[in-house]
Structure formats: C-alpha cells, structure tokens
Amino acid sequence: MEDDKLLDRLDVSESVLDEKKARRLIWRSRFALWRNIAQTLLAIWFFYTLYMIAIQIGYAKLNKEDDLVRYASTLIETHYAGLKVDKLGHTPVSLSPWLTQETTLTLYKQLGKWEEIVGTVTVKKPLWGKLEYEIHYQQKQLDERNGTFRFALPLSLLGQKPLDERREQDELWEQLAHMEDGYVAEMAFSTLQPYEPMQLYKLLEKYDLYLLQMAVYGGELKTFKPTLTRSESTVYVPNLVLRPAVHYSEGGSMSLEKAMSLPESVEDAKNQLIPDLEWMQSYAPDVFDAYDEKRLTYLREKGIVVYGAVVTGPVRELEKLRAETGLHEFQLGRIAVWNW
C-alpha cells in the first residue's frame, strides 16, 4: 500500500513537471514568434528607409523638383486669369514610394502693390498616368466667385459682325463711385475688337494702372470647339492667358519675373507664351492638353492677339476705363485699402 501511494505521488510530480515544461515551450514559441515578427518588421522598415533615401537622393540629383513647380505655375498662370503662383524660394516636392511627385503652391492676387493670398494648388505627377491638380480657394464671401475672370470673344474673330455698341454696366460703375479714394482694386475687361499685345498696352499706358495679364485668342470656335457659355450676343470660352515673362535658371528654378510695365517686357511676355506651352506639352499632359495642342498650332501660324486684360490700381483710375468705348464686359474683382 505504501508503494502504491509513493507511485501516485511520483506520477503527480511528473505531470506537474510536464505541464511546466509545456508552458515554458509555449512561451518560448510565442516569444520566438514575436521576435521573428519584430525582426521582420525592423528589416522591412530598414530597407524601406534605405529605398526612400536612395530615391530622394536620386530625385534631387536629377533636379526634377523645380520642373514640377515650373509646370504647376505655368499651367495656372496661363489658364486662370487673375491668379498668380508664388514661385519665390524653394518649394519642397514630396516623393511617394510609388514615385508620385507632389507639391502644394500658394496662390495669390495682386491688389495694388500688394499680394493677397487667395488659396493653394496641389499638384500630383505619378510615374505613370496623367498629372492631376486641385485648387483650394480661400473665399471671402459665400458665393461661387473664386477670383478668376472670363472674357467675351470679339465676334469678328469668329467671322461675325462686331457689336455696334457695348452693353453698359451702370451698377458696376455706381459701385465704384460709392468707394472712397483710399482703395485699390482689380478689374478685368474684354475688348470689342482683337488687339496686338503692344496695341492694348499702349491703350492702357496713359492710366496709372498695373497691367497684370491679357486674354489670348487661340483659335477657339474657329479651328476647334471647346466648351462655351453664351449670354445674349456674348460668347465665353476657356482662354489662354498672357502672363509676365518668367525666366528660369539651368536647374529649372525661377530666376526672374518681369512685370508688364514696359514695352520690352510686353514683348518678352509675348515671345515666351509659345515656348511655355511647348514645354508644358513635353513635360506632362493635363486636362487642357486637347485644347493646348490645337492652340499651339493656331498661334504658330497666326501669331498672338489678345481680347481682354486684368489690371489693378486705384479705384478712381479704374473708373476712367469707362471712357474707352472699345472696352466692355467689365468685371470688378477684389478690393483693398490704399497701397499704391
């Protein structure tokens, strides 16, 4: 009997030892599993870091950052009347693991001698596929105005009889009349007849205003049919914008921007438009690509004519433009305190 009791005790002790060994094995297995997972994750993170460092270094050596900024600024400033892009200083461009380039640029308007921030534009260029961009406006009012302007096509460009006289905009001029002298504003207008850029510059030269941009005719509705908006006898189409000439360094960054304040600076702007569009076409397609290719063909053959402009200056000086009977479809933009 005593031997049986001893055997029972031994069996119990061995089962306890076996259970402890099993638990130790389980915990060792769990520890080894988590250790392997941690080592794998660490290795993935290490190689991912090396990969990102390598592609960032390679991207920097290729000097491609400035190209994306140049493309974005050229796209906005040649297709959105009234908007300018902040190109000064270094703009960081991020690169995703899938080699998608992305940057965000500040949008502004010139009001008098100051610049007012009105939003941002984010541009993404994937390794394959179409470049994408998105504009985010900082609106001052709860309406659909986003600060850009549109221009009425002169009917003579379409082979039609020009308007006999312009439609007067008494409400706009009354609004200006109620403003005190201590304000500046931006204004856009169209022309009843097409002009050479220098002709329109000469017409505006006598006024104390800054000429910011001009609307360029690129063969719309004559050699191709883009989307259009019609109001009575007025036709609006997506238009090109003649902007001040921008010079770039060999690396692609902006080195100089000339305001259209002198005859030679207007000529520089005119001479740069076609090369700008050609460079955009070679760099990446965009949503305007179908139009721009046709516009380029037209501009190379016919040259550059304009049919509107964006200006800024004191409100009393803007009022004087009403006396120019060849101007019509005036649009008043943002207003700021005197800074002239």
- Domain boundary residue among 61, 81, 113? 61
Q: Are residues 133 and 195 in the same domain?
A: yes
Q: What is the mean pLDDT of residues 14-34?
A: 71
What is the model's pLDDT at position 18? Answer: 65
For 163-174, what is each residue's pLDDT tens digit? 877 888 999 999
- Domain boundary residue among 46, 61, 76? 61
Question: Residue 164 carries which DSSP code?
Answer: S
Q: Are residues 68 and 47 in the same domain?
A: no
* Identity at 241, one-letter amino acid code: V
Task: For residue 161, give every residue at least 6 positions away whose Cβ sits within 8 Å of its Cβ, in sequence order, or none.
Answer: 155
Q: Are residues 120 and 43 in the same domain?
A: no
Separation CA 154–CA 19 (nearest Å): 95
For 68-84, what is each residue's pLDDT tens digit? 889 999 999 999 999 99
pLDDT exceeds cutoff 90 at 247: no
Q: Are residues 131 and 278 in the same domain?
A: yes
Over the chain, what is the mean pLDDT? Answer: 86
What is the model's pLDDT at position 14? Answer: 60
According to DSSP, the residues that pair with 105 across neighbouring strands are: 121
Q: Are residues 105 and 130 in the same domain?
A: yes
Q: What is the mean pLDDT of residues 47-54?
A: 72
Does residue 154 contact residue 221 with C-beta atoms inside 8 Å? no
Q: Are residues 241 and 197 in the same domain?
A: yes
- Domain boundary residue among 10, 44, 61? 61
| Alpha carbon distances (Å) from 252 to 69, 96, 272 | 9, 22, 15
Q: Are residues 243 and 319 in the same domain?
A: yes
Q: Are residues 33 and 117 in the same domain?
A: no
Q: Are residues 237 and 283 in the same domain?
A: yes
Domain total of the chain: 2
For 256-292, what is each residue's pLDDT tens digit? 788 898 899 999 999 999 999 999 988 887 667 778 9
| Alpha carbon distances (Å) from 46 to 95, 96, 240, 309 | 18, 16, 48, 55
Instruction: Give the global pTM.
Output: 0.82
Listed in order, strand segments (DSSP E) in 163-303 are 183-195, 210-216, 229-231, 234-236, 240-242, 246-248, 254-257
| Maximum CA extent, the chain | 130
pLDDT exceeds cutoff 80 at 122: yes
Q: Are residues 27 and 165 in the same domain?
A: no
Mean pLDDT lowest among 135-144, 179-188, 312-321? 135-144
Mean pLDDT lowest among 27-41, 52-66, 188-202? 52-66
What is the model's pLDDT at position 327? Answer: 95
Q: Are residues 121 and 222 in the same domain?
A: yes
Q: Are residues 69 and 43 in the same domain?
A: no
On the 0-12 / 13-18 / 19+ scale of CB atoms within 10 A, 17 is exposed
pLDDT exceeds cutoff 80 at 23: no
Domain that holds residue 75: 64-337
